[in-house]
Amino acid sequence: MLFNNKSHLWILFLMVERTISYNQPKFHSNATWNPNGTTVANITTIGSYPSDIFVNSKNQIYVFNQDDHQIITWSDGNLTSTRNISADLTNSSSLFVTTADEIYIDTFYSIGGVSKIIFNLTQPIPWMNFCQQCWDLFVDLRNTLYCLMSERHQIIAKSLSNDYSHLRIVAGTGAAGSTLTTLRYPRGVFVHTTLDLYVADCGNHRILLFYFERLTAEAIVGNGSLNITIALSCPTSLILDADANLYIVDSNNHRIVVQGLNGSKCLIGCSGSSGFASNQLNSPWSLSFDSYGNLFVTDRGNHRIQKFDLMYNSRIVTSSLITLYSSSTTSCGCPFRLFMNTSSFNQTNATYQWQSSPAGQYIWSNINISYSISVLYLSSQLYSTDYRCQIVIVYPSPMNFISNTVTVLTEVNDTYCPTKVVDCACCGDDINNFVLIGELGTQIHDLNTSCATNSYDNRTQESVSLFENRNYTGQMSTNFLTDEQFAIWIDFNDDFQFESWEQVTYHVLNATFYANFTMIIPPSSSGATIGVHRMRATLAFAAMPNPCGASSIYGETHDYTVNILQLAVFASQDWTDTKMQTNILIYVF
């Protein structure tokens, strides 16, 4: 809600797709994780016997410290940024963080029921009263809160958007049992974007799937499943990746396992016994992915958080007989070559058609004409690129192969035109909030960033995907009221400059802290190159913003990452099963 200088009340409505606040990376069947974990937090930081962990889409980590009765949060890879949230919470077992950075936490043994902690505040607000402790919490795409009452052998749900909605029983009868309608001391819950409910039924050593609005489940892993591919002993937590593969904390077996279309396997702690070594776990409890696919586990018995790095996630397209290699995984503007293992197939009369695509776009184009050389030499590349090769063999029998895909990243370059040092600390001439909702569940949701050192903030870890030839509405705010001007550029041609034709928005803030701006993304035929680019947002006081130098004594600049998608490619695909909903969000800065 916003007030102007005449005390009129304004309410800002943004029509957007509701997105998820947690990470569901896309992996391929050959993805592997380092079996040796790194301890990112120990008993000194997170206390003894940690239970739940939540890593949000911005890679902010949240854990409850039982010893200090506080929530501990820090940015992935930067434990020095640790912040303590809230005090006087007792035996809280679960928490969930929404896209608005609101924390829902079990407060049954302190102030009762479930409480909410609003972003940048420290004290919990009582939200819902339940007759039992919520051992696990989850908020789905409809903004419905799920409370797993383990001692009551039941899961209930209630809308967070409608105060008058009733509590609903979504799983369990309230009595312990081992049928497909009953639970026995369940520990973990996860709701798919399809609104199907997955339950870690600890006491029955199984994973149950309750299809949307059904109270009779299907046992899909462990006891009672039709194809028992792996035995579980008290599963306590579970998550899904982008392809609905199921990652399970098999607590009493001290390991992490995965169940997917290709069967099941052990990922972490596969020695068969508990321990303190880097490749061992001791009664793990919960797990969460970061946006890069790394796996975080609360190693409860060892009083630590372990991080297991994603090591290999190559996109195998078809044949396992052909392996494509690159002489470099990053391009520094230097020549590099692509080559493959040719010993596993008959090269007689083979021809090779090399293809490339902007990284992650799957928009393939031929690099050259088809010829009989299995090595491709490239002088350089402008942006991160995927490569593959189609091989046609005519003799002795016709065959057609497609190699795996390799990605060569463009090295992060610091040669972008600099912003000359200006002053945003003096009077509040900063980009304090920046919100931009993109496609495919992506968004930049940058709140309360305040003034950066030298008035420049490299925030390229924040990324959003946008279609070419489409307009987008975003929102920004500053902390100074008078005559601020704001502009955004996208480096479509990746020449490390922000030219006048690359400006996508310009807005003047007239006696207001807030602005709704419209970004105009041109069609690819007019210069909006498909792929990943840098986006620069600049605020200047009483002057037209300049992306490559100071136009005012006061102001600030932020750099972000934008992925331009080809509209025609996605328009031809069927997105009816994404289960996204249009909702009204009210941002209050």
- Range in 23-32, 185-194, 296-305 with the lowest mean pLDDT: 23-32
Is residue 244 packed enough to be buried (19+ CB in 10 Å), middle (13-18) or exposed (0-12)? middle
| Common-topology check for domains 324-410 and 433-571 | yes
Cα angle vertex 299, ends 298, 304, to 5°?
85
| DSSP class per residue in 232-270 | -SSEEEEEE-TT--EEEEEGGGTEEEEEETTEEEEEE-T
301: nearest Cα among 45, 77, 42: 42
**Mean pLDDT, residues 290-309 taken together:** 91
Give the integer Cα–Cα distance in Å for 76 and 59. Answer: 6
Predicted confidence (pLDDT) at residue 554 exceeds the cutoff of 80: yes
pLDDT of the residue at 568: 59
- Chain mean pLDDT for the chain: 80
Is residue 8 packed enough to be buried (19+ CB in 10 Å), middle (13-18) or exposed (0-12)? exposed
For residue 280, give both structure tokens. 């061992």
pLDDT of the residue at 146: 96
pLDDT in tens, 495-528: 778 888 999 999 888 767 778 899 999 998 888 8
3-state secondary structure 60-95: EEEEEECCCCEEEEEECCEEEEEEEECCCCCCCCCE
Query: What fold, for 324-410?
Result: Immunoglobulin-like (2.60.40)
Put residue 217 in one of left, alpha, beta given phi > 0 → left and psi -120 to 50 → alpha.
Answer: beta
Give the integer Cα–Cα distance in Å for 542 and 509. Answer: 10
Q: Percent of the chain at pLDDT above 70?
A: 78
pLDDT in tens, 358-383: 665 556 677 766 667 777 777 666 66
348: nearest Cα among 392, 404, 390, 401: 392
pLDDT of the residue at 344: 55
Provide the strand spans (E) within 363-513.
Answer: 365-366, 375-378, 385-393, 399-402, 406-410, 433-437, 443-446, 456-467, 470-477, 484-490, 503-509
Q: How many residues does the chain have?
A: 589
Amino acid identity, position 54: F
Predicted confidence (pLDDT) at residue 287 exceeds the cutoff of 90: yes
pLDDT in tens, 195-222: 999 999 999 999 999 999 899 999 999 9
More confident of the two residues 389 and 61: 61
Centre a 10 Å sphere on the Cβ of residue 552 and count the other Cβ atoms it contains: 20
pLDDT in tens, 555-583: 889 999 898 988 755 544 443 333 332 22
- Range in 16-25, 415-424, 565-574 with the lowest mean pLDDT: 565-574
Give the integer Cα–Cα distance in Å for 404 and 401. Answer: 10
pLDDT of the residue at 347: 65
**Mean pLDDT, residues 295-308 taken together:** 94
Predicted confidence (pLDDT) at residue 324 exceeds the cutoff of 90: no
Kindly list the domain boundaries of the chain, sorted by start residue. Answer: 31-312, 324-410, 433-571
pLDDT in tens, 253-275: 999 999 987 778 899 998 878 99
Query: What fold, for 31-312?
Result: Neuraminidase (2.120.10)
- Report the predicted TM-score, pTM, of the whole model to 2 decimal places: 0.55
pLDDT of the residue at 145: 93
Predicted confidence (pLDDT) at residue 549 exceeds the cutoff of 50: yes
pLDDT of the residue at 345: 58
Q: How far is the CA of 494 from the CAs of 332, 453, 505, 530, in angstroms?
A: 14, 26, 19, 11
pLDDT of the residue at 22: 92
pLDDT in tens, 82-110: 778 876 788 888 999 998 889 999 988 88
For residue 461, give both structure tokens. 């870890």
User: In the CATH scheme, what architecture does the domain 433-571 have?
Assistant: Sandwich (2.60)
